[in-house]
Amino acid sequence: MLLGSFIKTPTTHSIEILGGIGFDFVVIDEEHAPFDRVTIDNGLLAARAVGTAGIVRVAEPTASKLLAVLDDGATGVLVPHVSDVEKARAIVSACRYKGGSRGFSNSPRAGNYGAVGMWPHVEEQDGSVTVIAMIEDPEALDVIDDIVAVDGLDGVFVGRGDLSVAMGAQSQASPEVHAATEKIAKAAIAAGKPVCVMVGSIEETTAFRPLGVTSFIVSSDQGLMRQAASKVVTDFRDIADSQAEGPDGGATRPAY
């Protein structure tokens, strides 16, 4: 199984920390966080520095967006709202040289700034770049078998948040959302494509392992910081309250 987290803060530090402690990958979130071309570029450099895979969730599935992050050295792309076969084919095409439409350049980081020759660069990129479709629209469920069958699509991410909102579900744990997740996972696995979901905690992964999910995005850098900071505040208040009460129940002066 693979472990990753979303990166919402446009700096290198959280990527260095998560990669350094053993996260398999990070997802730089251009869609829902204030990243631009420069901060994405820096984030991908940080991912390389600590040896973790740097994936970018692009803000939109345009050829120019996909080209930019791949040239900057992204290990792969996570593409929102892939709801039909045509969209799946379009993103695969934009990410591949041979049989696709990716604009060629070996001068950026992906081509080691020109050190890699034309055809070795083409072969390496076509063989290593990972294209992941986000399945998060109800209409995608009707054609999910066709979407996951698209050649060159390497995996799927189940967008339970968007599915929940679109379905009017009470939460991501609602039966209809779980059923949709199961349907997507079953189709992807039958097509030989791995499945990724986002969870709020490690404990939540147990509900998805029986479905064949093998990759998990756990929270985000901001979410993990909030969880850790909330625990610190709670623990601190508990200690402070206990120190405020003396053995006889009276107040005592805290020791600093």
Q: Which residues are catalytic?
A: 32
C-alpha to C-alpha distance for 105 and 139, rounded to whole angstroms: 36
Helix and strand numbers, DSSP H then E, in the chain: 10, 8
| Residues β-bridged to residue 2 | 215
Angle formed by the axes of helices 63-71 and 85-95, nearest 10°: 40
> What sign has the CA pseudo-torsion 199, 157, 2, 13?
negative
SS3 (DSSP) at 235: helix
Answer yes or no: are the C-beta atoms of 78 and 31 closer than 8 Å.
Answer: no
C-alpha to C-alpha distance for 154 and 79, rounded to whole angstroms: 12
Tell the residue number behind the tokens 């530090």, with chain if given: 13
Residue 212: both structure tokens together: 């064949």
Phi/psi at 40 (5° precision):
-65, -45
